[in-house]
A and B are shown apart, each in its own frame.
Chain A
Amino acid sequence: MPKIKLNLISGRTIQQGVSMEGGKEKPAYREACGIIEMDPADVKRLGIWVPANVRVTSPYGSVVVKAINATMGPHPGVAFIPMGPWANQVVDPNTYSTGMPTFKGTPVEVEPAEMEKVLGSIELVQSTTRKGVVK
């Protein structure tokens, strides 16, 4: 299986804002934020046809999201997951004595995960925080 290394950033998108205000338990929120925007060159390196589910893994966690071509590219080497529970599964929580986690600039590995599902926000957060719940 191919696996590529990228630099992950997160941030707002207008779809993130609209779906967030429309209800975070709704599928629209997952569709807006359970994604990873990758540069077409990186998509090619990974050998997938977008949109496709991928697993994103960092030293701090792992999450399945849907890969799409960058809407605000080109930015080879940089991946973008809109702010939200999906990005927060893998971002660097270290604050380096400032109080601020390092939400931008997390080294991640991305690999195809065709058979895995992108979870909804509630399901995702509950399954990774509650003891005894199988992922």
Chain B
Amino acid sequence: MTKLVTDVICPFCGTLCDDLEIEVSDDGKKVTGVYNACAIGAEKFLHSAAADRVTRPRMQQADGSYKEVSYDEAVEYAARVLANAKKPLMYGWSSTSCEAQSKGHEIAELVGAVVDNTATVCHGSTLIALQDVGIPSCTLGEIKNRADRILFWGCNPAHAHPRHMSRYSIFPRGFFTGKGHKGRKMIVVDPRVTDTAKLADVHLQVEQGRDYELLSALRVAIRGNKLPDVVAGIRKERIYEAADLLKSGRFGIIFFGMGVTQSLGKNHNIDEAIMLTKDLNDYTKFSIMAMRGHYNVTGSGEVLGWQYGYPFCVDLSRGFARYNPGETSSNDLLVRGEVDAVFVIGSDPGAHFPISSVRKIAELPSVAVDPHITPTTEISKLHVPVAFVGVEVAGCCYRMDNVPIESRKVVEPPEGMLTDEEFLERVLQRVKELKAEQGAAAAAAKGKVTA
């Protein structure tokens, strides 16, 4: 017999779908079926039951192979690496719960670490932009119930957020949007004819990297001013047509993704997109929202925000919080060789950082906390497998519209496996002891000198 667990949160992307139904074996140990999830979410749940899963920590040997060690040894190594480093980088946090993030920050404060999350290679530019010019935003529920103009800029939800369009943005019938997609107009701006663009009423195939120009042109067109014949590879008639379409709606939203954050211009592209939203509010109601990737990258920004006032790349090495993207951000620190140890949790920089940064992680004392084998775990000195948040342990997560949702535990983790929070708690206790020893040794040495 199997059991069906309903109303489960999907721990894959920032859409945080909350209607999954998971079939688990009678003993509550194995996922046997996943319903309502997208292909990626389903794979994530099913992979927790993989037979070849690593269940004990592994240390890298001199020849590059890995040897199984106990959790005690793993805690000792991680604590020593962090306590002995002058400026460790503690990166990731986006695939774990807010509770674990908070616990990890306690360690970071003690050891003077730089805490950075995956926004640094995702929506970091967005966070800089919204500190520059503010952000008029709303919740996904408001979009479902009210929005009749949807603009996807530099994002491809059909592939990256597979249920976003069906749950919130294009297809659902809401309180004031009873006709579903028939009552909505959809515009997509993308240099490729993506599967999202194929669904759009208007697709502006912008020349790659010319987003700023096109955003500026739309601002000009909205005011009814003159444009050159072609901007960013798009004829002016198309731009005027898109501007009129946006102005004629009752409630509109701009969703934007990596197309604007990772192309040249970066935060300035988003500044301009937010200003376009502001301009559109002279005619109708308009909002803008970032398409966040990891299911709890927003949560990491929130927790860092409450605790230190900054949403990513927070440098605690001087005993107080500093924030300066470009200086205290992971890739800059790694490329310039400014950190002397790396602790990775809930992310995979080995696969998703430029290789020049990955090379530095491989050279340094490094710990990777991840339920699975990834390029990061295979170059780090220590790999600590942990229980899956959202599958094997519950915890708070933030949706892309900053709404916190409590994820659910659906199955038991493999026997004897720690959760992120438990592992971090044990490392924290050991770091406290090591720091006390270091403090005592320093005081004794000082006493000797004085005497």
Given contacts A21-B47, A103-B258, contact A72 B193 (CB under 8 A): yes
Within 8 Å of chain B (Cβ to Cβ): is A52?
A: no
A68 CB to nearest B CB, Å: 14
Residues of B within 8 A of A20 (CB): 40, 351
Number of interface residues of B (CB under 8 A): 67
Cα-based distance from A83 to B258 in the complex (angstroms): 11
Cα-based distance from A40 to B72 in the complex (angstroms): 56
Within 8 Å of chain A (Cβ to Cβ): is B375?
A: yes
Whether B209 contacts A105 by the Cβ 8 Å rule is yes
Within 8 Å of chain B (Cβ to Cβ): is A25?
A: yes
Contact of A101 among B158, B351, B354, B378 (CB under 8 A): B354
Residues of A within 8 A of B379 (CB): 125-126, 129-130
Cα-based distance from A18 to B37 in the complex (angstroms): 12
Within 8 Å of chain A (Cβ to Cβ): is B39?
A: yes
Residues of B within 8 A of A89 (CB): 355
Within 8 Å of chain A (Cβ to Cβ): is B128?
A: yes
Within 8 Å of chain A (Cβ to Cβ): is B447?
A: no
Cα-based distance from A7 to B206 in the complex (angstroms): 14
B157 CB to nearest A CB, Å: 10
Given contacts A91-B354, A98-B128, A125-B351, contact A104 B258 (CB under 8 A): yes
Cα-based distance from A78 to B110 in the complex (angstroms): 47
Given contacts A24-B372, A88-B352, A99-B325, contact A104 B194 (CB under 8 A): no
Contact of A24 among B158, B194, B195, B374 (CB under 8 A): B374
Within 8 Å of chain B (Cβ to Cβ): is A115?
A: no
Within 8 Å of chain B (Cβ to Cβ): is A122?
A: yes
Given contacts A18-B40, A78-B208, A125-B350, contact A98 B124 (CB under 8 A): yes
B59 CB to nearest A CB, Å: 16
Contact of B326 among A72, A98, A103 (CB under 8 A): A98
Interface bits A19-61 vs B (CB < 8 Å: 1, else 0): 0111111000000000000000000000000000000000011
Chain A residue nearest to B259 in the complex (CB): A104
Residues of A within 8 A of B357 (CB): 93, 101
Cα-based distance from A73 to B191 in the complex (angstroms): 9
Whether B193 contacts A85 by the Cβ 8 Å rule is no
Residues of B within 8 A of A17 (CB): 12, 39-40, 43, 159-160, 162
Residues of B within 8 A of A102 (CB): 262-264
What are 24 sample pairs from A and B whose C-beta atoms fall under 8 A apart? A7-B208, A11-B160, A21-B12, A21-B47, A23-B47, A24-B351, A24-B373, A60-B355, A72-B193, A75-B205, A78-B192, A78-B208, A83-B352, A88-B358, A93-B331, A93-B356, A96-B264, A99-B325, A100-B261, A100-B325, A101-B331, A125-B351, A128-B355, A128-B358
Top 4 nearest A-B pairs (CB, nearest first) are A99-B329, A97-B326, A93-B354, A99-B325
Q: B residues bordering A, Cβ < 8 Å? A: 12, 39-40, 43-44, 47, 50, 52, 64, 120-121, 124-125, 128, 156, 158-160, 162, 191-195, 197, 205, 208-209, 258-259, 261-264, 266-267, 312-313, 325-332, 335, 348, 350-359, 361-363, 372-375, 378-379
Q: A residues bordering B, Cβ < 8 Å? A: 7, 9, 11-14, 16-18, 20-25, 60-61, 70, 72-75, 78, 80, 83-85, 88-89, 91-93, 95-105, 121-122, 124-126, 128-130, 133
